[in-house]
Structure 1
Amino acid sequence: MKVILTRDSVAMGDDMDAPHEQRREFPDGLAAVEVITAVVADGYLPPIAGGRAVWVVVSGADRSLAVVAQEWAEPRPLTDGWGDALPDEGSPVRLHFRYLAQEDPEAVHGRLRAKA
């Protein structure tokens, strides 16, 4: 499966490379949890001073999939299909990491989970 990653910038100096696009390949049929966890683990998201960065992972269909917080050990799902294969959006799958600065990750997760 081909995946195109993009993310918001975290600071003015980071804007030069926006939208920070990377193209990756993963085995077909991987679940959202597996792909997002792998991307977070390999350092695609920049660390923020103070350790409180919050990101929302959005699919190409503009569906919020998970909240990622620098202070959490793993991403937290926003959908019941977290263990299901990524939605078939055609090829490639697009995932965007929307930066929410240092918002409270529990509040962000609760607010978005209520909308899901």
Structure 2
Amino acid sequence: MRILLTRASVAMGDDATAPNAAERTLPDAATLTELAALVATAYVPRMGGACWVLSLGYGAPAGPPLALLAEPWERPRLLPAAQRLGPLAALADRDGELRTYCDYRWRESPEQVWRELTGRTP
């Protein structure tokens, strides 16, 4: 499955390449957990304390937040909306492409963003 990645800018210089598009591939049987791990390790910038919210969409979120990617955490955490989705391949379009968007949440701790999106403590 072809994954089309876009993300928010993290600095003015980053704006020149917005939506900071990239492509990756995953097996058709991949899970949302595997997608979130790929995005966290091979796409979004790693900066001290960076916190990203992964959603479906291209250039902007086109659905509910699915996962929270935070550097202090060992692995991404799936959000409640992710529990209601079917297989990852079923979310792809008819060409087999899955479009994702990562929103940069600066100046907010991962725990604060988690509470905001879930209503509970991580």
Q: CA deviation at 1:83?
A: 9.3
**AA matched with 2:74:** A
Q: Which runs of 4+ in 1 moved over 3 A?
A: none
Q: Which runs of 5+ in 2 are unaligned?
A: none
CA distance in 2, matches of 1:89, 1:57: 15
Percent identity of paired positions between Structure 1 and Structure 2: 37
Q: Which runs of 5+ in 1 are unaligned?
A: none
**AA matched with 1:81:** Q
- TM-score, with length taken from structure 1: 0.84
CA distance in 2, matches of 1:47, 1:24: 18
Aligned residue pairs total: 111
Q: Provide Cα deviations, 1:2-27, integer angstroms capped at 9, x if missing partner.
A: 11100111000111111111122211
- Counterpart of 1:57 (choices 44, 49, 54) is 54
Q: CA deviation at 1:89?
A: 4.0
Conservation of the 8 A alpha-carbon contact between 2:36 and 2:69: no
- TM-score, with length taken from structure 2: 0.80
Query: Which residue of 2 is the match for residue 72 of structure 1?
Result: 73
Query: Which residue of 2 is the match for residue 103 of structure 1?
Result: 108
CA distance in 2, matches of 1:106, 1:99: 14
